[in-house]
Structure 1
Amino acid sequence: MSNVRWESPFPYTLAFNLFKKHLEEINRSYWAFVPAANTIKALANQELVDKTADPKKFFKIPDEEDRRIAPTYEEWKNDFSEFINYSRLNIIMMLSSCFETYLRTVVSLAFESKPGVIIDCKDAVDGARILKKDITYGDVTDKSYRFTEAIDDVCRGEWDKRFSSFQKYFGSAPKELLGLSRELDELRITRNNIGHYFGRKKKDYEAPIDFEPNETIKVSHKRILKYFKLIYLTARLIDGYLQKNIIGSYDIIKRYFIAISKGEIIKDKMSSDAYQLKKMIGRHELKKLSKSYYNELITFCETNYVECETDCIFTKNRCVQEINRRLTDKGISLIFNGRKVLFDSLAFKILLTKDNLYTDSRFSKRAVDNRHQVQYLHSSALIEYVTQKLELNANTIMNELKESFML
């Protein structure tokens, strides 16, 4: 069995998957604008040859708005260039916001996954175990959320300081990532100048009392492309490092527990948790994985994060899968009529009936699923009981169970 908790089969986190979609949205919008602006400039240049030509004769504009457009082609060109620059400034704001939203999300996942990093004991606690007991543990909007200050350490201020905090909590970051500090700081300063001083420099516009406005910061098309590449590369490097070393599959596990708490996944013998989770994850353009992975992940969660060994939360099929896994891990084979067989659902039902385990509250609980059908849920204590019994009687028990069924 692979280490489904710490080795994610996905190439990136759910946070990065969302970041990519936001980045693609901004990119498509920008590239809808670029050719349109170039076409407008080219056509206007063909029609309005004279600098003093009236642009109202070329552009379609309602008569009542005539006064709002520049009186000459030369002045219109200057206005349009300024508009293009403002558009690029706004793109920078969107790129920065997209990236910062991703950064806070992935860093919060890292702290939640291994909360021991706060006290320099990285592997002391598995955050998924805490999340299973208290779903508000992973809710950044909850007043009791415990990682806000640490997240701010990593996600605010100059990038040298951010990377210093990153390494304090999470270990040595990739050199390629650290090497992006200067460019990221340039983006941060540009973003702040746009957001706080509407495109002017802080030193000139922190509290201006001049008579004339300063020029806006000029941003070229080439610079925009540079920022697209910069934030994608930075996010990819951060994601790869944190997923491998800190997060593992915590994001998928968190999504699973949230889905259960919200009723998006419900106990249903016609549609297993694994199938429901696979369907949910599959809608979001992540790597397609077999149902066996989701079975393994959910079995791991329920086996390792159950609050009490007598909590009845496992379906019959989940129990059978886990029992077979444990037997395989121990190198034990069950024998029926001289050949190796797996423990199956029929044998499970016969054994539980024979040993009166359906009526023992430590092992079983009668429940009604969302289709109003009766089923039984079972505990980890039952899984352990059955596994031990099979282990001690591996050569004979399957014959005994099948024979008792025929009587």
Structure 2
Amino acid sequence: MSNVRWKSPFPYTLAFNLFKQHIEEINRSYWAFVPTANTIKALAKKNLVNDDADPKSFFLIPDEEDRRIAPTYGEWKNDFSEYINYSRLNIIMMLSSCFETYLRTVVSLAFESKPGVIIDCKDAVDGAELLKKDITYGDVMDKSYRFTDAIDEVCRGEWNKRFSSFQKYFGVLPTELLALSKDLDELRLTRNNIGHYLGRKKNEYEAPIDFEPVETIKVAHNRILRYFKIIYLAAKLVDDYLQKNIIGSYDIIKRYFIAISRGEIIKDKINSDAYQLKKMVGHHDLKILGKSYYNELVTFCETNYVESETDCIFTRNRCVQEINRRLRDNGISLLLDGRNVPFDSISFKILLKRDNLYTDSKFSKRAIDNRHQIQYLHSSALIEYVTKKLELNAKTIMNDLK
């Protein structure tokens, strides 16, 4: 069972899987632009024979917008070159954002997986065991989340400093990754100049008080291609190292519990949790695996998942689904105005409020969700309480809860 936790059968983490899709999206967008720009320039040169030519004689533009286009072909060429450069600057922003989003995600998974790295005791605690007991353990938006400062230390500032912090927590990095420090810092500084100084250099444009704007940073096509390669290589090297040494299958385990809490996986006599997880993962561009891995993973997740029937770990949706499943299994139908109806979330909230179950710590616990909204988590004891009450009053209770 330990192998399924620490040895992931997938070639990369879920964080990298998402990163790969984002960078492919940016790449396709860029390569939709490149040949289009080249074609426009070639056709314009062919049809507008000299720099004094009127671009409105060639380009399609509504009459009311005529004044917005340059009066001569020569001026239009300069404007279009500037536009191409701005487009490349924006691509750099997107690439940097894509990489930084991936980095924060995978580093957060690493800290959650082996929280002992914070105190230089890497294998002291298995974070998956903490996640089993409290789904908010892995919620980066929860106010009790404990790794924010350490994540910032690894994911902010100059890359020499980042790599130093990375190795302090996670061990010695591959030399191939460390060798990218200079290139990654160049990208970071370029991104900052674009984001904070309108595509100018900080030392030229931090607080401008000139009569004319200075020239924007010029970015060649080959520089964009180099950044694509650097970012992809850096992310792949980080992912290979952290998945093998720190994360294991923690990302899949976390996604399983999130799926349960969202009601994406429901208790089903025909389709097991393992089958539903396998189907979910298989839809997202990951390696296809047999049912053995998923069976072992779900068994690992369910072992000591709930230590006590009063552990509050289930969302409202999960409770409602489980209550309806139990009612079906017990052959109980709820009636509303003489019609069979399922138990729903609104009725669940009304019942809990009416019976003061939100304030009883055996049944409910107040929490903050990913959108900073107040929500409540509930225990298996509450599920049992509500199911019994519905069974005893199946013919009348839904009318009472209207």
1:394 equivalent in structure 2: none
1:211 equivalent in structure 2: 211
Corresponding letter in the other structure for 2:260: I
Task: Tell me if 1:150 matches 2:150.
Answer: yes
1:86 equivalent in structure 2: 86
Partners of 2:113 and 2:274 lie apart in 1 by 22
Corresponding letter in the other structure for 2:65: E
1:205 Cα deviation from its structure 2 partner: 0.3
1:136 Cα deviation from its structure 2 partner: 0.7
CA RMSD of aligned residues (A): 1.9
Does the aligned pair in 2 maintain the 1:267–1:369 contact within 8 Å? yes
Partners of 2:325 and 2:4 lie apart in 1 by 28
2:188 equivalent in structure 1: 188
Partners of 1:37 and 1:67 lie apart in 2 by 22
| 1:270 alignment partner, SS class | coil
Partners of 1:297 and 1:277 lie apart in 2 by 10
Distance 1:141 1:367, change over 3 A: closer
1:60 equivalent in structure 2: 60
1:341 equivalent in structure 2: none
Distance 1:248 1:140, change over 3 A: same
- Per-residue CA deviation, residues 82-136 of structure 1 (Å, 9 max, x unaligned), is 0000000000000000000000000000000000000000000000111111111
Does the aligned pair in 2 maintain the 1:268–1:371 contact within 8 Å? no
1:369 to 325, 334, 342: 325
Partners of 1:219 and 1:153 lie apart in 2 by 30
Does the aligned pair in 2 maintain the 1:111–1:117 contact within 8 Å? yes
1:380 equivalent in structure 2: none
Task: Tell me if 1:21 matches 2:21.
Answer: yes
1:165 equivalent in structure 2: 165
1:378 equivalent in structure 2: none
Corresponding letter in the other structure for 2:22: H
2:35 equivalent in structure 1: 35
| 1:52 alignment partner, SS class | coil
The higher-RCO structure (CA 8 Å, 6+ apart) is 2
1:241 equivalent in structure 2: 241
| 1:108 alignment partner, SS class | helix
Corresponding letter in the other structure for 1:239: D
Corresponding letter in the other structure for 2:262: K
Partners of 2:2 and 2:134 lie apart in 1 by 26
Distance 1:272 1:374, change over 3 A: farther
1:308 Cα deviation from its structure 2 partner: 5.7
Distance 1:277 1:214, change over 3 A: same
Distance 1:367 1:136, change over 3 A: closer
Partners of 1:231 and 1:371 lie apart in 2 by 52
Structure 1 unpaired stretches of 5+: 312-365, 376-407
Corresponding letter in the other structure for 1:126: D
Distance 1:36 1:371, change over 3 A: farther
Report the TM-score when normalising by structure 2. Answer: 0.77
| 1:3 alignment partner, SS class | helix
Partners of 1:73 and 1:282 lie apart in 2 by 53
Report the TM-score when normalising by structure 1. Answer: 0.76
Does the aligned pair in 2 maintain the 1:368–1:374 contact within 8 Å? no
Does the aligned pair in 2 maintain the 1:47–1:58 contact within 8 Å? yes
Distance 1:178 1:304, change over 3 A: farther
Does the aligned pair in 2 maintain the 1:268–1:370 contact within 8 Å? no
| 1:268 alignment partner, SS class | coil
1:198 equivalent in structure 2: 198
Does the aligned pair in 2 maintain the 1:367–1:374 contact within 8 Å? no
| 1:369 alignment partner, SS class | helix
- Per-residue CA deviation, residues 54-98 of structure 1 (Å, 9 max, x unaligned), is 111010111111111111111100000000000000000000000
- Per-residue CA deviation, residues 282-323 of structure 1 (Å, 9 max, x unaligned), is 1101000011110011112222545269x9xxxxxxxxxxxx
Task: Tell me if 1:128 matches 2:124.
Answer: no
1:269 Cα deviation from its structure 2 partner: 1.2
Distance 1:368 1:212, change over 3 A: closer
Partners of 2:120 and 2:137 lie apart in 1 by 20
Partners of 1:11 and 1:101 lie apart in 2 by 20
Partners of 1:187 and 1:245 lie apart in 2 by 27
1:2 Cα deviation from its structure 2 partner: 6.6
1:230 equivalent in structure 2: 230
Does the aligned pair in 2 maintain the 1:128–1:305 contact within 8 Å? no
2:294 equivalent in structure 1: 294
1:369 Cα deviation from its structure 2 partner: 2.7
Does the aligned pair in 2 maintain the 1:193–1:201 contact within 8 Å? yes
Corresponding letter in the other structure for 1:369: R
- Report runs of 4+ in structure 1 exceeding 2 Å deviation: 303-309, 366-371
Partners of 1:218 and 1:238 lie apart in 2 by 30
1:370 Cα deviation from its structure 2 partner: 6.6
1:277 equivalent in structure 2: 277
2:346 equivalent in structure 1: none
Corresponding letter in the other structure for 2:129: R
Distance 1:371 1:73, change over 3 A: farther
Corresponding letter in the other structure for 1:43: L
1:372 Cα deviation from its structure 2 partner: 1.4
| 2:31 alignment partner, SS class | helix
1:373 Cα deviation from its structure 2 partner: 2.0
Corresponding letter in the other structure for 2:329: Q
Summarize the alignment of residues 342-357 of structure 1 with structure 2, pairs less than 5 Å apart: none
2:338 equivalent in structure 1: none
Does the aligned pair in 2 maintain the 1:177–1:237 contact within 8 Å? yes
Partners of 1:162 and 1:83 lie apart in 2 by 34
Task: Tell me if 1:261 matches 2:261.
Answer: yes
- Per-residue CA deviation, residues 253-287 of structure 1 (Å, 9 max, x unaligned), is 00111111222112211110000100111110100
Corresponding letter in the other structure for 1:301: C
Does the aligned pair in 2 maintain the 1:14–1:251 contact within 8 Å? yes
